[in-house]
Amino acid sequence: MRQQIVAGNWKMNTTIAEGVALAKAVVEKVENPRGKVVFGAPATHLDAVSRTIAGNQHFGLAGQNCHQEEKGAYTGEISADMLLSAGADYVILGHSERRQYFKEDNAMLAKKVNLALSKGLKPIFCCGEPLNIREKGSHVAYVSRQLKASLYHLTEEQFRQIAIAYEPIWAIGTGKTASSAQAQDMHLAIRKAVSRKYGKKVANATTILYGGSCNAANAAELFSQPDVDGGLIGGASLKADDFVTIINALK
């Protein structure tokens, strides 16, 4: 069976002390998760949070972004090597907030994916449509284009390192979750698109997460869908008890 993941995206929240306390509270309460648990902590917190999960194979650590160049004069940016040196093994790339507020486009994200993979970081690659695209009914084509433009240059071996997170923009931070049927439909469409490019075997092994107002109350229903392999969780990942409930909702 393909790997399930529950990843928390803390976004720009928590101090280091708060982040460490949150991670500790989760680690203490989770014993044998049915998938990998990943903390998407702010870059400043990674080193400290990595100590709270050290040696625990059930947990991973993600940066929320990395720059597409290896190093250099890019004031304020964070490199893949920096993330690795702080203990991260994953990196969230292409989050819709990065696309919207920091003008990350598909071509730039392809470069970020390349660099992350070349360094051994596992990308959690985000895709998802805005509301007007969903209303027009062209969401499958829109998301397929995002995947094609940023991922389909990869070799099969490289692609196997990617987890995809489907995050419909209209569901992020809005309290308006995609229904489990809407999530399943899109996840299946993504898996079919991956299958057309990389074959059935790779598609069946690809982890596809749902993100967008996933919470303690709706996670089990979403995760019960056959093509939903876990979640990328924003707001609810900041509350240890809620996040643990979500982790325990994995099938």
Provide the CA 242 distance to its chain's centre, in angstroms. Answer: 18
- Clarify whether 187 is annotated catalytic: no
Cα gap 65→209, rounded to integer Å: 17
Q: Among this protein's residues, is 167 annotated catalytic?
A: yes
User: Quick check: helix, strand or coil at residue 22?
Assistant: helix
Residue 80 binding ligand 13P, by CB under 6 A: no
230 binds ligand 13P (CB under 6 A): no
Torsions phi, psi of 105, nearest 5? Answer: -110, 175
Binders of ligand 13P in range 38-77 (CB under 6 A): none
User: 17, 156, 173, 201: which one contacts ligand 13P (CB under 6 A)?
Assistant: 173
The stretch among 78-86, 190-198, 206-214, 220-228 that binds ligand 13P (CB under 6 A) is 206-214
Q: CA nearest 160: which of 116, 191, 189, 203?
A: 203
* Both structure tokens of 86: 């702080």
> Would you mind telling me the total number of residues written for the chain in this entry?
251
| 243-to-137, 171, 172, 217 alpha-carbon distances in Å | 32, 18, 16, 11
Under rule CB under 6 A, residue 167 binds ligand 13P: yes
Choose, from 95, 104, 139, 187, the residue flagged as catalytic: 95
Instruction: Tell me if 172 contacts ligand 13P by CB under 6 A.
Output: yes
Of the candidate spans 99-107, 112-120, 193-201, 230-238, the one that interacts with ligand 13P by CB under 6 A turns out to be 230-238
Residues that bind ligand 13P (CB under 6 A): 9, 95, 167, 172-173, 211-214, 232-236
Catalytic residue numbers, as ranges: 95, 167
